[in-house]
């Protein structure tokens, strides 16, 4: 399975998150699944790719040309897909994915997983969308999705393929 993961190009300041990212990457590599991600060697993205590859797995990076020109790609990738811009990158990552995970990240991560949540809700993607709510990072997003249902602007059925995971073990259970 191709597992598309969205996460930060910064490492952040929580070492337990870095360790969780490494744990997820190791599982992806050892399980025979394939990582699809933004292609960077920086921050959490680099931690994830290195852990996948060092565990014997494959990592496909999808990176816009302006990042490649700045030499931000991870050199140990199985495959690097170069896109013209961020919009094309998002489209390609969605095309390649069989499952989607958002780990804690910045505004780019939020934008990317929001598009996936919308596509899943509209049945334009038949894939699980997993939000890794590490230490409550995405509590606000969960509350917002619940409020959408409460106010009649969405339904439980539309959000039925959006899952919140509290641990890497939860993510693995949802993917099996």
Task: Catalogue all structural domains in the chain, each as residue range(s) with its CATH number.
Answer: 2-175 (3.40.50.450)
pLDDT of residue 150: 98
pLDDT of residue 5: 98
Q: Name the helix (H) or strand (E) containing 130.
A: strand 129-132
pLDDT in tens, 159-169: 999 999 999 99
* Strand order, beta sheet including 129-132: 79-83, 58-64, 34-37, 2-6, 99-102, 129-132, 162-165
pLDDT in tens, 90-126: 999 999 999 999 999 999 999 999 999 999 999 999 9
pLDDT of residue 52: 98
* pTM reported for the whole predicted model: 0.96
């Amino acid at each position: 399975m191709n597992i598309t993961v969205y996460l930060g190009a910064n490492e952040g300041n929580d070492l337990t998150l870095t360790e969780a990212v490494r744990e997820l990457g190791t599982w992806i590599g050892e399980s025979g699944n394939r990582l699809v991600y933004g292609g960077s060697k920086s921050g959490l993205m680099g931690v994830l790719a290195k852990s996948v590859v060092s565990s014997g797995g494959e990592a496909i990076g999808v990176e816009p040309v302006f990042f490649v020109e700045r030499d931000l790609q991870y050199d140990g990738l199985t495959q690097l897909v170069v896109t013209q811009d961020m919009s094309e990158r998002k489209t390609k990552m969605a095309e390649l994915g069989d499952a989607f995970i958002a780990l804690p990240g910045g505004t780019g991560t939020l934008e990317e997983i929001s598009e996936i949540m919308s596509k899943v809700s509209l049945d334009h993607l038949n894939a699980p969308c997993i939000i890794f709510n590490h230490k409550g990072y995405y509590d606000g997003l969960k509350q917002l999705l619940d409020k959408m249902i409460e106010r009649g602007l969405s339904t439980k059925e539309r959000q039925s393929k959006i899952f919140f995971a509290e641990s890497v073990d939860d993510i693995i259970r949802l993917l099996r």
